[in-house]
A and B are shown apart, each in its own frame.
Chain A
Amino acid sequence: MRIQLSAAKVHNDFIRKVEEMSGQDLLKCYQCGECSAGCPAAFAMDLLPNQVIRLLQLGEHEAVLKSKTIWLCAACQQCYTRCPKGVDLSRIMEAVRDLLMLEQGDRIVIEKLPAETLAEFPQQAFISGFRKYTA
């Protein structure tokens, strides 16, 4: 993938908001890959957790917004716990999700969830899910 860098792009408005909402300094990450190694959902992701940070460092947030990775992060905090630089990636994922949903609307339509799912899953799954998939 060819990427053109510029100061304006690297410090773009979206990236600034992600840093503000998450309270995380994206440039702390030096790409060791510990987050991707420990992530239990990485096998199903199109972008690995460390790639999400790398793309955001380069101002390439459009690629992150299109990926399913941000919706597969369950905030288990394994990555944050093991990060040698103390970067809380789950906070970054949450900021990206929230900013995207504020612009494009909720990820899920609650009324469209299958009746059997609603009847069977524990309440906890919906409350968490609604908080993560709606803004």
Chain B
Amino acid sequence: MRIPYYPGCTLSTKAKGFDQAARQSFAALGIELAELKTWNCCGATFPLSRDNLLDLVGPVRNLVSAAAEGDKLAVACSTCFNVLKRSNLVMRNEEDKREKVNFFIEADYAGSVQVLHLLEILRDEVGWDNLAKAVKKNLADLSVAPYYGCMFLRPPKEMGFDDHENPQILENFIRALGAQVADYPHRAECCGNYIAAFDLETTKEMSYLILASARKAGADLIVTGCPLCQFNLDRWQQDLAMKHGGFRPIPVLYDTQLLGIALGLDATTFDLDKHYVDPRPILAEKGLI
């Protein structure tokens, strides 16, 4: 199976390991993630002002590219997923905006593409049972905290991705890989998003609540599907350990990295060495790398 694939800006630069692990894991599962021939940054935020049509141009251009290559678009990054999916709904449901955006970019697009997150493809195309059968490593001794953040789930009416207060897709993914799920209350709390680049002290504390909550639940590591969540959670843990006595840093992996490792792929191209809290010791201790 071949599905057109949108990597996005951060997966092509700072989060190459996320992208590599996605492509290799899906290839191992018989799905080719075929990068769009032309794409641009999605804009990383969905415009919330009703008169802001210009910020729809970036995501819609990607959707137009995708429509030329198939009826589905696979997305790994949960922020890109949010922006592309919501922009697609605007093109599908809001005639006035559709006409204006199409006129501006000289296209004729009405929201035909189905924007899919990689986890949805695992659930619906591969299936959790088949995924479990493809797993080569034994993760039974690994406790994994799922971190959704905001973009996967909200607003639920538009994302329609999972139950927004009690999501299960990451939990089912972790269980299919054979690992244990660490259940903790902060899995869908915002990490601070882009505010981190402008008001770091506030977002460090937001991240700390999430990290400490996952640790308290006994997690060995956290998995997420967003490069900015990954960075915000990963980057400041040394500082947080200095400030909050007793806090032990916890590695933050991408969902696709854990997938690749579970499938027994060579993890040397997953950029595990680029993480701030090195995940390799715990992975080695559990016999996974």
Q: Is the CB of B14 within 8 A of A74?
A: no
Judged by a CB distance under 8 angstroms, whether B240 is at the interface is no
Known: A81-B154, A95-B49, A124-B9. A74 touches B194 (CB 8 A): yes
List A44-90 residues whose CB lies under 8 Å from chain B. Answer: 44, 71-72, 74-78, 80-81, 88, 90
Name A22's contact: one of B13, B49, B150, B205 (CB within 8 Å): B49
Q: Is the CB of A41 within 8 A of B195?
A: yes
Judged by a CB distance under 8 angstroms, whether A27 is at the interface is no
Chain A-chain B contacts (Cβ-Cβ < 8 Å), number:
127
Q: Is the CB of A132 within 8 A of B202?
A: no
Judged by a CB distance under 8 angstroms, whether A2 is at the interface is no
Looking across the interface, which residue of chain A has its beta carbon closest to that of B210?
A: A40
Q: What class of interface size applies to chain B in its complex with A?
A: 35 or more
Known: A23-B50, A75-B48. A121 touches B231 (CB 8 A): yes
Name A91's contact: one of B49, B154, B193 (CB within 8 Å): B49
CB neighbours of A72 from chain B (8 A): 195, 199, 202
Shortest distance in angstroms between A67's beta carbon and chain B's nearest beta carbon? Answer: 14
Q: Is the CB of A80 within 8 A of B13?
A: no
Q: Is the CB of A78 within 8 A of B10?
A: no
Looking across the interface, which residue of chain B has its beta carbon closest to that of A133?
A: B198
Looking across the interface, which residue of chain A has its beta carbon closest to that of B50?
A: A23
List B137-176 residues whose CB lies under 8 Å from chain A. Answer: 149-150, 153-156, 164
Q: Is the CB of A98 within 8 A of B49?
A: yes
Name A132's contact: one of B14, B45, B51, B164 (CB within 8 Å): B45
Q: Is the CB of B197 within 8 A of A127?
A: no
Judged by a CB distance under 8 angstroms, whether B262 is at the interface is no
Q: Is the CB of B154 within 8 A of A122?
A: no
Judged by a CB distance under 8 angstroms, whether A21 is at the interface is yes
Q: Is the CB of B55 within 8 A of A122?
A: no
Judged by a CB distance under 8 angstroms, whether B260 is at the interface is no
Judged by a CB distance under 8 angstroms, whether B219 is at the interface is no
CB neighbours of B205 from chain A (8 A): 43-44
Q: Is the CB of B231 within 8 A of A74?
A: no
Name A94's contact: one of B49, B153, B231 (CB within 8 Å): B49
CB neighbours of B79 from chain A (8 A): 124, 128
Name A123's contact: one of B14, B190, B193 (CB within 8 Å): B14
User: What CA separation (Å) do A120 and B15 show in the bound complex?
Assistant: 12
List B55-77 residues whose CB lies under 8 Å from chain A. Answer: 55, 77
CB neighbours of B193 from chain A (8 A): 74-76, 125, 128
Known: A40-B190, A41-B195, A131-B55. A125 touches B228 (CB 8 A): yes
User: What CA separation (Å) do A32 and B9 show in the bound complex?
Assistant: 40
Shortest distance in angstroms between A39's beta carbon and chain B's nearest beta carbon? Answer: 9
CB neighbours of A22 from chain B (8 A): 48-50
Q: Is the CB of A122 within 8 A of B14?
A: yes
User: What CA separation (Å) do A43 and B231 show in the bound complex?
Assistant: 22
Q: Is the CB of A20 within 8 A of B194?
A: no
User: What CA separation (Å) do A43 and B204 show in the bound complex?
Assistant: 12
Give 18 pairs: A residue, B residue, CB < 8 Å, sorted on A.
A41-B192, A41-B202, A81-B153, A81-B154, A81-B156, A90-B48, A113-B197, A121-B196, A123-B9, A123-B10, A124-B79, A125-B231, A126-B197, A127-B9, A127-B45, A128-B228, A131-B43, A132-B194
Which 4 pairs, one residue from A and one from B, show the smallest C-beta to C-beta distance? Answer: A76-B190, A128-B194, A76-B150, A74-B193
Contacts A41-B206, A124-B79 known; list 10 others, CB within 8 Å: A76-B190, A80-B155, A122-B14, A122-B15, A124-B44, A124-B194, A125-B197, A127-B44, A128-B228, A132-B194
